[in-house]
Chains A and B, each alone.
Chain A
Amino acid sequence: MRIYRSVRFILMMLALVGVAQVTWSQNTITIKGEVVDGTTRMKLSGATIALTKQNTILTQTDSAGNFTIRTQLGTSVTITMVGYETKTHTITRSSEIVIEMKSKSTSEQEVVVQAFSQRKKDLATGSTVRISGEVVQSAPVSNVMELLQGRVAGVNIQNNTGSPGSIGTINVRGVSTIGMSSSGYITPTSPLFVIDGIPVDINSNYSYGTQSGPDNINPLSLIPPEDIESFDFLKDAAAISLYGSRGAYGVVIITTKRGRSKVPIVSYRVDMFARKPPSLLRTVGGMDERLMRINTMLNYDTTNLEIIKANINAISMLSDSLNPYYNNATDWQGYFYRTTLNHQHNLQISGGDNTFSYKTNIGYYKESGIIKNTDFERYTLSMQAVYQPVQEFRLTASILGGMGFKGNGSGEGALQTGVAKGANTSSLLPPPSLYSGNSVLLDEDRKNNINKANQIQGNIKLEYEFLKGLRLSNAFSYNYNTNNNVGFTPAWLSGNSSYLNMLDDKNTEAYNLAQLQYTKEIGDHTFNASAFNELRSTKFRAEALKIGGFANDQLQGPLGSYWMLSSGGTYDDPNIAVIKDERSVAFGGLLSYNYKRKYVLDFQYRTDVTSVNGPASGYSHSPGVSARWNFRREKWMENVNWLNEGSIRGSWGKSIIPVGNIFDVYGKYTVGGYYNNNPTVHFDFGSVPNVDFVPQVTTTTNFGLDLSMFNNKLNVTLEGYYKTTDNQVVETPLTSSTAFGKYKVNGASVVNRGVEFTVNTTLYQRNDWKAFLNFNFSYDKGTLVALPGGLREQTQFRSDANISVPVVQRVGRNQFTNLMLINNGVYATINDVPVNPRTGLRLQYGNTGNYFFNAGDPIWVDVNGDYIIDDNDFIPVGNPVPLFISGFNPSIQYRNFFLDISVNATLKRDIINLVLANRLAAYTNPATSSAYQPIDNLNYWKPINGSLDNGTVGAIYPNPFDYIRANAMGTLRSNQTLFMEDGSYVKINVVSLRYRVNRQLIARYGMTQLELKASINNVYTFSKYSGINPENVSSLGRDVSGGYPTARGYSLGLSVQF
């Protein structure tokens, strides 16, 4: 199996250690041969050929699977290769020999990462899954996580933005936070990424819900997928508790490729790919639109007819139909969205032997966004070298460099609110020009807005085994990121004052891990002990500069040209990132014991202190214990032949994640007003300092069952977990008598429970055909179990109920519940409206006496029965976090053809179709210039014979034309269950086909491998959802029209290896 490749090199080098000097006698002959896979006939590189008797290694096969040895006739050689059964061959003749290797696919032999170190899977007590890097190489994407969707049970990846260079949401084992932003996003809880030993935390500094900073380039977008050897997903406490102080949301370890061939290998890959926007929304245009608007106003405005006519005449867009300015049918969406053609290139040079190996990867990627001016361009260079002069000493050095450019468009990259507004402009208005009503498009074209991200990550790791079994290692990494954003807006687009915005930020992290490991075997007992120290220093600072009022649009200077419009300084927008200088220190240890590889017992302990802890809270302690029992190796299991391996494992442990910032602990000073003509500095009374501030603590209990059956053809993993996330920060408002505005306190807790199920199976394997299947299914349910101060519930973002959907957080329920009016249809006639028996009046909206429900209005449940629909009638409904996720990944191989399909599913999730709500709501503003999208396919209420008291029976949507009342009562409001829909979907994510050209055909050109590739990604989504794409919604389940649509991609590629 492919996933062995990453460890092959390491094991090979270990095996090579202690090569004795080869001696040969007089009748030595030279023998050439090749090593092939017994079933696929693929040449195997890196197989080791050793003399059986002496156990000395002679050579290993080159990249083409060939070897040459000098030995005597009659000697037997042993060929070993990771992932294959050992084969012994006796040399009987001097001609070319072909050695067929039989594949060995015991999942227990795989290697996984657990707590800073690699372990054989049969000794791993934690929950870890390894995924081969080939998965993300099947189709060209800007962000590697996009293609890992549905690959790992319990890892929920939602590609909810199509913005190149941005990233969707990634949650390991459910959403365990209660934090959210007013823009409709759950505070990101992405796992910690460790790229070749360098921790990259994509949560901090990228606090936008879509996890893109001001530059919109996510650090993960600067990794070329071609360079990735493997991913390790660490899910439970046993796996992560020693892994950094920020691993509580899970850890993803990305290992890049290494050199492993004595003969240097040069490989080059090129992809051409197209991005096609999803089908656009239909729009009503021209005269239809004008008449629809006029009729709406005539029929539903109940004031004086003459006033209405005057109103219509005053709106020249409606009345002045012969004016060429208003006499258009402009296709606005066509101006914003487009199909693009893109390309990427990657060159990798690698090579080396057991003493020294090297790798260099150079990549270029360019993707033009399907929205104009949102192009993403990436340049990457990564290098790695391993030097191991003797077995006891090893030095690994790597450097990863990346540079990304990104156009912001009119929004914040991932959120294209400007475009959403622009593309939603009435077709009556003229196409974009200097005189056009829509300047957003001109922003797109003329605004000079460039983002640049630079990222350099360096890592040096030294390992030295100074005594037998005692190994000292130290890894130091430094991560340096800078982003800058320069945006120039010409005067004619911004009220006659041009301005220039500049934003620069710098984010650095130094990380050092020192570790001492001791391994001792006494008979069948193996002991392993290690102690470590971890140091981390993180700094972030952003500077912003705004200059305005230049002499003309050709000048962008001089500095301070017009001081009234110029400002600058340290950027302190709390929504983006707060200036910080954080340190953390951790000490810990691991004690591991196993008996005959049958019983494994691990103890872990870790203690942390961070500078964002309150001074009164001290060190945090994270203990952990885990065990594994390989029951198949018991004596009484000997006769169970269908089972190849079987084990039960369990773990319990804690891990932390720092929350808040230093200002939450110590408070802050801020610049105030003037006193005696001197600026003052005073304490910021916004929030009370909390000296007891502690990190968030995650406690996970995990049980797992691993089975490998029927000659390892069926591998099943079943896991269950119970995860508590305590000490979450809650902001409590304070009464004005305290002088402070609010108090941030650690107090909320969330429990996640879930079950994960994974099957890896070989479906078919005969002759030239092979079929494999990976299937996984996981269930996760998050529950809010505590709020501070004994509160049972709290409501967030209860802003204007006509626009946003408030979220209620109630103990015992899922963390994020929409607060909505329950909609039971539409009143067909006026007599259907309930009447208050005391007053003789119909149900009314608010207690104003002005808005009584009528035919065509929504039937909202009057929860408290007071015949008034108001705030008291909102009910918590829905869960925006999916309960089930699943992946179905078959791959089929026929001779040199490889077909890989990736299907994933997200089930049981409530999303709010704000796009539909806005589409209907557009009709309630006949006088404004937003686009009318046709609603004739919707079952909305229509009057019968012109009577407004009697109309469609069984309508689903209220009458959108009754615009004055619809605006006042919010009959088309988004916070009603009318627009809440089931967001379940099944998506065919990628279909990729590869063809490996026969070696004989290409050998004459000096190539060792030539592959042709074709792929489609984001192929098709099956869903009952009435909107465009149920995945392309915010993490709180709101289908915001400002979202960046996900494009379908078609690609053709070629990869060649010399």
Chain B
Amino acid sequence: MKFSRFTYWILFAAGMISALSCKRLIPQERENIGLESDINQGVFSPTLGRTTTFIDIFSKQSTTYPATFKILNFRRRSGDAARELETVIPVLVWKQAYTGKETSLDEIERKRAKENHQLFEIGERSGDLTMWAEATSAMFRSQPDSGYLFDLEVSNSGGRRYFQALQLMPMKEIPFEPTNIDQLTGMPVREFVYPSAVNMKGDSTGRELSSGDVRVYIRKVDDGGKNSNKLTIRFLDRHDQFINPDKFSNTNWAGLLHGFNMVKNATGVTFDVAYPIPLAKLRTIYTTASGEMAALRFSYLRTVIGGETKENYLGLNFRIFEPGNWEIVFKFVNDNPRFTND
């Protein structure tokens, strides 16, 4: 009996010691939503018809990741709910990386697939806002309309914060760039755009041609929706006669454009292409240094006065977002280029 009382005391002492490691005396480690964390950007004006991602919109500060981001309360300026922003439709997403080294249209298409997405969506962990290319001005209000408002919620186990009344003011589609379309009205302001680089001599005047001497018409040819992956390039002289593309004899046709099945004849050159062009913002042999635009370069060699062989060229940096049967026409307006030696 006495021994057992002693045992109790031992147990009591052991209990006292273990009570010291009692967790509730110490604050638990938890995640944090920083009071000084903020949104970097209040107005989002994505251009419709192309995939736009707004990254780093959340200034992290002392917020700890992983955190969850949510969009709440899509509404019009009037306060009415804007259900169209919650539309979920299949959008084209990349499953494998675009490298610029694909050898067929099929290979490119195999890298892409349709997936259901909300057209204006937020990255659950990143807070990045994405407007998918499938969103059109027919579905959403676009500027000059005042657009939409939405709230953003950031939460983790450390709490949650709301950033309210962020503005979404989409811009109308611009299917191609350089463009002749006014973004507010969606209407063309002139019929043509100018090339990026012109280094040629006028055939009759003998003067150096400038970009003002060449008009570029980028247009969708209505073929009844038969082709959605064609691009044709044509050259017209000042008499509206076709210039044979073979005149641009020094052109690297294989590296001109990431297209396939080139058909070249006297009236132009046609490729099977995957849209948008370029497919990704990646520097390849077909693009500008930034990878943002596809770069066309048509060149030929000519012996000039003094016997020097000179490269003459015509260049266009462009991009096209909408699939279709597109045509790029270079039209010389004031003088034709000289293809012969001096």
Contact = CB atoms under 8 A, between A and B. Distances in A.
Contacts of B282: 840-841, 849
A863 B281 contact: no
Interface in A635-686: 636-637, 639-640, 648, 650
A865 to B, nearest CB: 4
B62 A791 contact: yes
Contact of A812 (B26, B125, B281): B26
Interface stretch (A278-286, A503-511, A542-550, A828-836): A828-836
Contacts of A637: 2, 6
B215 interface: no
Contact of B96 (A650, A703, A831, A873): A831
Given A631-B9, A791-B62, A865-B125, A838 B94 contact: yes
Contacts of A794: 62
Contacts of A927: none
A831 B111 CA distance: 11
What range describes how many residues of B lie at the interface? Answer: 35 or more
B16 interface: yes
A841 B2 contact: no
Interface stretch (A590-598, A718-726, A989-997): A718-726
B21 interface: yes
Contact of B29 (A648, A755, A812): A812
Contacts of B229: none
B20 A721 contact: yes
Nearest to A781: B21
Contacts of A813: 29
Contacts of A783: 26
A793 interface: yes
Interface in A716-755: 718-722, 751, 753, 755
A792 B62 contact: yes
A639 B4 CA distance: 12
B20 A840 contact: no
Given A648-B9, A701-B20, A793-B62, A864 B28 contact: no
Contact of B53 (A830, A839, A872): A839
Given A636-B2, A840-B94, A703 B9 contact: no
Contacts of A720: 16-18, 20-21
Nearest to B28: A812
Contacts of B94: 835-841
Given A636-B2, A812-B29, A866-B128, A838 B17 contact: no
A841 B123 CA distance: 17
Contact of A841 (B14, B18, B97, B115): B97
A356 B324 CA distance: 111
Interface residues of A, number: 51
Interface in A855-871: 863-866, 868
A847 interface: yes
A835 B17 contact: no
B22 to A, nearest CB: 9
A793 B32 contact: yes
Contacts, number: 138
B191 interface: no
Interface string A790-805: 0111100000000000
A181 to B, nearest CB: 23
A640 B7 CA distance: 11
A703 B13 CA distance: 8
B136 interface: no
Contacts of A852: 97
B288 interface: no
Interface string B69-101: 000000000000000000000000111111000
B301 interface: no
A650 B16 CA distance: 10
A811 B125 contact: no
A67 B56 CA distance: 89
A830 B98 CA distance: 12
B125 A864 contact: yes
Contacts of B27: 785-786, 811-812
B153 interface: no
Nearest to B34: A792
A961 B13 CA distance: 61
Q: Which of B26, B51, B96, B112 counts the most A-chain CB atoms under 10 A from its CB?
A: B26
A840 B126 contact: no
A973 interface: no
A235 interface: no
Contact of A863 (B2, B29, B66, B132): B66
B42 interface: no
A534 to B, nearest CB: 31
B93 A838 contact: yes
Contacts of A849: 281-283, 290-291
Contacts of B16: 650, 703, 720
B66 A864 contact: yes
Contacts of A811: 27, 29
Contacts of A755: 17, 20-21
B134 to A, nearest CB: 12
B276 to A, nearest CB: 10
A24 B175 CA distance: 128
A873 B66 CA distance: 9
Given A703-B13, A812-B27, A812-B28, A753 B21 contact: yes
Nearest to A637: B6
Contacts of B14: 705, 718
Contact of A705 (B5, B17, B128): B17
Contacts of B45: none
A49 B187 CA distance: 120
Contacts of A785: 26-27
A648 B115 contact: no
A260 interface: no
Interface in B43-69: 51, 53, 55-56, 60, 62, 64-67
A965 interface: no
B127 interface: yes
Interface in B113-136: 115, 123-128, 130, 132
A919 interface: no
Nearest to B124: A865
A842 interface: yes
Nearest to A707: B10
Contacts of A793: 32, 62, 64
A810 interface: yes
A721 B21 CA distance: 8
A785 B26 CA distance: 6
Interface string A687-710: 000000000000001010100000
Interface string B277-292: 0011111000000110
A722 B25 contact: yes
B95 A722 contact: no
Interface string A505-537: 000000000000000000000000000000000
B98 A841 contact: yes
A703 B20 contact: yes
B30 A812 contact: yes
B17 A703 contact: yes
Nearest to A837: B93
A884 B188 CA distance: 75
B6 A640 contact: yes
A873 B64 CA distance: 10
A830 B13 CA distance: 61
Contacts of A864: 65-67, 123, 125-127
19 contacts: A637-B2, A650-B16, A705-B13, A705-B14, A722-B25, A755-B21, A783-B26, A791-B62, A811-B27, A835-B95, A837-B93, A838-B94, A839-B53, A840-B98, A840-B112, A840-B280, A841-B98, A864-B123, A875-B65
Nearest 7 A/B pairs, CB to CB: A812-B29, A720-B17, A866-B126, A840-B94, A837-B93, A840-B98, A865-B125
Interface of A: 631, 636-637, 639-640, 648, 650, 701, 703, 705, 718-722, 751, 753, 755, 783, 785-786, 791-794, 810-813, 830-831, 833, 835-842, 847, 849, 852, 863-866, 868, 872-873, 875
